[in-house]
Structure 1
Amino acid sequence: MAGHSKWKNIQKRKNAQDAKKGKIFMRHAKDIYIAAKQGGADLSTNAVLRAAVEKAKADNMPNDNIDRNIKKATGTLDGATYEEITYEGYGPGGVAVIVNVLTDNKNRTAAEVRHAFKKNGGNLGENGSVSFMFDRKGYIVITNDDASINEDAITMDALEAGAEDIAVQDGAYEIFTEPENFQTVSEHLTANGYEISDGEVTLIAQNYNQLAPEDEQKMMNLIETLEESEDVQDIHHNLEESN
């Protein structure tokens, strides 16, 4: 995992998204949904959900929106039935792409995803066509903007809690766990006074591809097009983004 910062790529993309005001609530909705889906709806025991809700409230996201996304994730929302679907394919330059969606109309969503790939020089594949290139891991980020965190101390705390790896990248500690240890490690770090900036059970690419600038731009256009869909919850890829 050394040599690549998922946090850097996430922040680069989030900063661009958040510049568009209409994207802010969508990003929070996805983060809240994923956190509640993975760790449950109880904020007192789900540190990642609690952090996601606090960020949403800081951006003035209405409580009704927050509650609705928690209920979606836990299956307690009345009305529409939502289905989780995963699409796999290749973007420009052969970049592996996995798209996770939550939809109440899979025909509509399939058409949107297929169009996004075709429009931006990619193509959808069969299930399993690229997923073997990724590992499922718990991923926790703790920022150290004021340099107050001792690296040896957080490393010991994380490893003692069950983490398998920790990296320091771009002013943040990136902590990796096995999926089944994600919640335990998150709760242990929170109990020891660390503030989790981001966290989820996610897919981490085994290797990353670099593209020529024109192909990288096409790939970023594909990601942006997919993110225009309200059904898209998360996008994984193995593009090593340039600075």
Structure 2
Amino acid sequence: MAGHSKWANIKHRKAAMDAKRGQLFSRLTRELIVAAREGGPDPEINLRLRLAIERARAANMPKENIERAIRRGAGLEKGAEQFEELLYEGYGPHGVAILVRVLTDNRNRTVAELRRIFSRHGGSLAESGAVMWNFEKKGYIAIRPDGQDPERIFEMAIEAGAEDVEISEDLVEIYTAPEDLQAVRQALMAAGLTIDNAEVTMRPKTRVALDDHATMAVMSLVDALEELDDVQQVYSNLEISDELIRKYEAQAA
């Protein structure tokens, strides 16, 4: 199985996200604010904040913007928005299960926008619990081998405490218990590996494979959802091959 993860779903859109840097910075700012609000402003003891800072730096977000967002979240500056963190459930075309994580300051606006996007792309919002049963919270680490033996990375990850490792053409994806994410991440970094992405994710327990046309339709829905300002992440149980990701990249170029 290859190319089905959230990382694989978004890696083909990096160039597009760079072109929307203002929107990306807004999304990262919200994540920093909420992380600092929930766990405090010290990234040494707040893993969520540490990972948010690393993503902001990877996106070339200015240092002063990062620090300002952390201060706002920690209540050290006036005017910090009161964002709610919510998880919406829905169905894409052909019954694909979808979870949408949002940070919003206006729940009614967010629901209306989500309902519009789902409907336009042949899907629908669902009641609470409708698809959540098919997902479990996991720590997630993505590593591009860059000449290193993926099987060796597999062994190192398992030795460090990972629960599962999946290898595709150009990516090694590592899953951990959420509480073990930091320990596994640190062990791999200490071994000299470069971490491309580390976060807590929602991993589907079972996945669905569709034909190319249907898969593209679901990917278009995910694209549209991720363009909404309130949306932080979209998870699905869609299986996507590396070949189809390359095809999608070509069409988006």
| Displacement after TM superposition at 1:223 (Å) | 1.7
Deviation of 1:221 (Å): 2.7
Look up the SS of the partner of 1:155 in the other structure.
Answer: helix
Q: Return the TM-score normalized by structure 2.
A: 0.78
Q: Specify whether residues 72 and 224 from structure 1 end up closer, same or farther in structure 2 by C-alpha distance, changes over 3 A only.
A: farther
- 113-122 or 18-27, which moves further after superposition? 18-27
Aligned residue for 1:95?
A: 96
Select between 68-77 and 7-16 the one with higher mean Cα deviation.
68-77
Compare 39-48 and 190-199 and name the one that shifted more.
Answer: 39-48
SS at 2:59 equivalent: helix
Is residue 204–residue 236 contact of structure 2 (8 Å, CA) maintained in 1? yes
CA positional deviation for 1:186: 1.1
Q: Confirm or deny that 1:179 pairs with 2:182.
A: no
Q: Distance in 2 between matches of 1:5 and 1:227?
A: 17
- One-letter amino acid matched to 1:182: L
- Counterpart code for 2:229: E
| Structure 2 counterpart of 1:65 | 65
Measure, in 1, the Cα distance between the counterparts of 2:38 and 2:198.
10
Contact 2:83 2:104 in 1 (8 A): yes
Q: 1:41 to 1:189 in 2, by over 3 A?
A: farther
Amino-acid identity (%): 41
Aligned counterparts, 1:41-60, within 5 A: 42-43=42-43, 46=47, 48-49=51-52, 51-57=54-60
State the shift of 1:74 in Å. 6.2
What is the CA-CA distance between 1:84 and the residue it aligns to? 0.8
- Tell me the amino acid that sits aligned with residue 14 of structure 1: K
Residues 1:216 and 2:219 aligned together: no
* Matched pairs, number: 237
1:179 to partner: Cα distance: 1.0
**Residue of structure 2 in register with 1:168 after alignment:** 167
Amino acid at match of 2:83: Y
Q: Which runs of 5+ in 2 are unaligned?
A: 246-253
Q: CA deviation at 1:170?
A: 2.2
Q: Distance in 2 between matches of 1:183 and 1:210?
A: 32
**Conserved 8 A contact 1:48-1:196:** no
Instruction: Quote the residue 2:129 is aligned against.
Output: 128
Instruction: Give me the whole-angstrom Cα distance separating, in 1, the residues matched to 2:212 and 2:220.
Output: 12
C-alpha deviations, 1:90-124, integer Å up to 9, x for none? 01111111001001111111111111111111111
Residue 43 of structure 1 deviates from its aligned partner by 4.9
Q: Secondary structure at the match of 2:12?
A: helix
The answer for the alignment partner of 1:233 in structure 2 is 232
Per the alignment, residue 11 of structure 1 pairs with 11
Q: CA deviation at 1:64?
A: 3.7
Going from structure 1 to structure 2, the CA distance change for 1:87 and 1:50 (only over 3 Å counts) comes to closer
Counterpart-to-counterpart distance in 2, 1:170 and 1:38: 37
Q: Supply the AA of the counterpart residue of 1:66.
A: I
- Report the Cα distance in structure 2 between the residues aligned to 1:138 and 1:43, rounded to whole angstroms: 17
Tell me how far apart the structure 1 counterparts of residues 169 and 39 of structure 2 sit (CA, whole Å).
27
SS in 2 for 1:240: coil
The answer as to whether partners of 1:38 and 1:201 remain within 8 angstroms in 2 is: no
Once superposed, what is the RMSD of the aligned Cα atoms? 3.1
C-alpha displacement of 1:139: 0.8
Q: So what's the TM-score if we normalise by structure 1? A: 0.80
Equivalents in 2 of 1:67, 1:186: separation in Å? 24
- Asked if the contact 1:100–1:233 (Cα under 8 Å) also holds between the matched residues in 2, the reply is yes
Match of 1:114 in 2: 115
Instruction: Specify whether residues 89 and 53 from structure 1 end up closer, same or farther in structure 2 by C-alpha distance, changes over 3 A only.
Output: closer
Is the 2:99–2:235 contact (alpha carbons within 8 Å) kept by the matching residues of 1? yes
What per-residue deviation string (whole Å, max 9, x for no partner) do you get for residues 58-108 of structure 1?
A: xxx223432355457667664321111111010111111100100111111
